Amino acid sequence: MLIQRPFSPILQTPKLPFSPFSRFSTLVAPFPTKTTSLRFARVKCRAQDLKTQNSRGLKDREEGDYYDDEDDGGEDGFSTRGGFRGRDDEKDYDKDPEFAQILGTCLDDPEKARAKMEERLRRKRNRILHSKTGSATPMKVTFNKFDFSNSYIWFEFYNTPLDKDVSLLCDTIRSWHIIGRLGGCNSMNMQLSQSPLDKRPSYDAIQGANVTPSTFYNLGDLEIQENLARIWVDIGTSEPLLLDVLINALTQISSDFVGVKQVVFGGAEFENWKENLTTEDAGYSVHKI
Would you say 180 and 235 are in contact if contact means Cβ atoms under 8 Å apart? yes
Q: How far is CA 182 from CA 153, 186, 232, 233, in A?
A: 21, 10, 19, 16
pLDDT at 29 over 70: no
At 125, is the pLDDT very low, low, confident or very high (cuts 50, 70, 90)? low
Q: What is the mean pLDDT of residues 81-103?
A: 57
Instruction: Answer yes or no: is 10 within a domain.
Output: no
Whether residues 154 and 274 share a domain: the answer is yes
Q: In this structure, which amino acid lies at residue 95?
A: K
Whether residues 146 and 279 share a domain: the answer is yes
pLDDT at residue 180 greater than cutoff 80: yes
Least confident of 1-5, 70-74, 260-264, 282-286: 70-74
Q: Does 101 lie in the same domain as 181?
A: no
Is residue 272 included in any domain, yes or no?
Answer: yes
Please give the distance of CA 65 from its chain centroid, rounded to a whole number.
Answer: 32
* C-beta separation of 200 from 191 below 8 A: no
Task: Output the domain CATH number for residue 263.
Answer: 3.30.70
Query: Do residues 147 and 273 share a domain?
Result: yes
The predicted pLDDT at position 113 comes to 81
Specify the number of domains making up the chain.
2
- Domain span at residue 119 reads 93-127
pTM reported for the whole predicted model: 0.55
Mean pLDDT of the chain: 76
Closest to 152 measured CA to CA, from 140, 161, 160, 143? 143
Which of 85, 102, 127 delimits the end of a domain?
A: 127
Give yes or no for a contact between 133 and 258, defined as CB atoms under 8 angstroms apart. yes
Query: Do 113 and 231 sit in the same domain of this protein?
Result: no
User: Residue 94 pLDDT > 60, yes or no?
Assistant: no
**Cα first-last separation, the chain:** 142
Same-domain check for residues 150 and 279:
yes
Q: How confident is the model at residue 283 (pLDDT cuts 50, 70, 90)?
A: confident
Question: Is 259 contained in some domain?
Answer: yes
User: What residues does 225 pair with on adjacent strands?
Assistant: 228, 284
Q: How far apart are CA 93 and CA 179, in angstroms?
A: 48
Q: Is residue 154 part of a domain?
A: yes
What is the pLDDT at residue 282? 75
152 and 107 fall within a common domain: no
| Residue 166 forms part of a structural domain | yes
| pLDDT at residue 108, rounded to an integer | 78
Same structural domain, 145 and 278 = yes
100 plus 147 within the same structural domain: no
pLDDT of amino acid 227:
93
Residue 242 covered by a domain: yes
99 and 179 in one domain? no
